Structure 1
Amino acid sequence: MVVVIIATILLSIAIPAYTSQIRKSRRTEARTAVLDLASREERFFSTSAAYTNSAANLGYAAFPAQVGSNYYQVNVCSPACNAGGPAAPSFSVTATPVAGNGQDKDTQCASFTVDSTGRQSALNSSSTDSTATCW
């Protein structure tokens, strides 16, 4: 009986800690996805002298597009539509967790953004800047 109680206590501590670490490790997928999409925008700009909102021009079927293991979706906005973003021509790429897969419970890093100037930012679930924690 004592062994069962001790095991229960250990599991009640270990499982939430493990889940938190899994969520943190999946953030890499979001950062990689926004940087990849930003590089595709720059490649498009180098041949067209303009940024695009077209998913097809950037190698996707549609936006928002689920990426990697489908824990995040990315979207692009041109000209940049984020608050305080650079003037046109510009773009911003944002990754947000896909609802219902567990990653949407990551309250520290609810979105990742890169804009055409290379500025990286992140917001928590309260829309407060969490760039230092997430990037």
Structure 2
Amino acid sequence: MSVRKETGFTLIELMIVVTVIAILAAVAYPSYQAQVRKGRMGQAQADLLELSQFMERCFASNNSYQGCALPFSTSPRNGTPYYQIEFNPATTRTEFNLRAVPQTAGGQDKQKCGTLELNQSGVKRFGALGTQADCW
């Protein structure tokens, strides 16, 4: 009678591999989510700059920001809105303020930069937790 040697993985070896994969996933997934939120914020910044240019074209045509209506109010324009874009004209005809307010969809409200703002002078503002380098 001959003895056959069994080959394969033991249950302990398999559990060690599963544990290592779980630890790696626990570290990688939050970092991935932060990068996704940062990308969505970049889209909102680009939308604010595009809308600012739209407002300047409207001012060039009308000699006033009053009466100008934004062509879109969410970022991104299609799909799930991660930012709501608000337009706050001042009482004078020579001022405006655009705001991108993060929404709860996709955890975008957890972005440390908070609400992004841009006015007619190109002044950029953001939430209290961010820095200029991180947010604009």
Spell out the pairing of 1:16-35 with structure 2 (5 A cutoff): 16-35=30-49
Cα shift readout 1:52-103 (whole Å, capped 9, x = no counterpart): 3653xx324xxxx2121521111111118xxxxxx76201111111223321
Instruction: Give the SS at the match of 1:102.
Output: helix
TM-score (norm 1): 0.77
Aligned residues of 2:65 and 2:95 also touching (Cα < 8 A): yes
The code of the aligned residue for 1:130 comes to T
The code of the aligned residue for 2:100 comes to A
CA distance in 1, matches of 2:17, 2:102: 39
Q: Share of identical aligned residues, percent?
A: 30
Q: Which runs of 4+ in 1 moved over 4 A?
A: none
The code of the aligned residue for 2:135 comes to C
Aligned residues of 1:95 and 1:111 also touching (Cα < 8 A): yes
The code of the aligned residue for 2:126 comes to A
CA distance in 1, matches of 2:33, 2:94: 41
Say whether 1:50 aligns with 2:58. Answer: no
CA RMSD of aligned residues (A): 2.1
CA distance in 1, matches of 2:41, 2:23: 29
Say whether 1:5 aligns with 2:16. Answer: no
Q: Name the CA shift for 1:128/1:11 in 2 (closer, same or farther; >3 Å).
A: closer
TM-score (norm 2): 0.77
The code of the aligned residue for 1:133 comes to D
CA distance in 2, matches of 1:71, 1:12: 25
Aligned residues of 2:102 and 2:114 also touching (Cα < 8 A): yes
The code of the aligned residue for 2:87 comes to V
Spell out the pairing of 1:1-135 with structure 2 (5 A cutoff): 1-52=15-66, 54-55=68-69, 58-60=70-72, 65-68=73-76, 69=79, 70-79=81-90, 89-106=94-111, 108-123=112-127, 127-128=128-129, 130-135=131-136
CA distance in 1, matches of 2:67, 2:110: 28
CA distance in 1, matches of 2:47, 2:97: 13
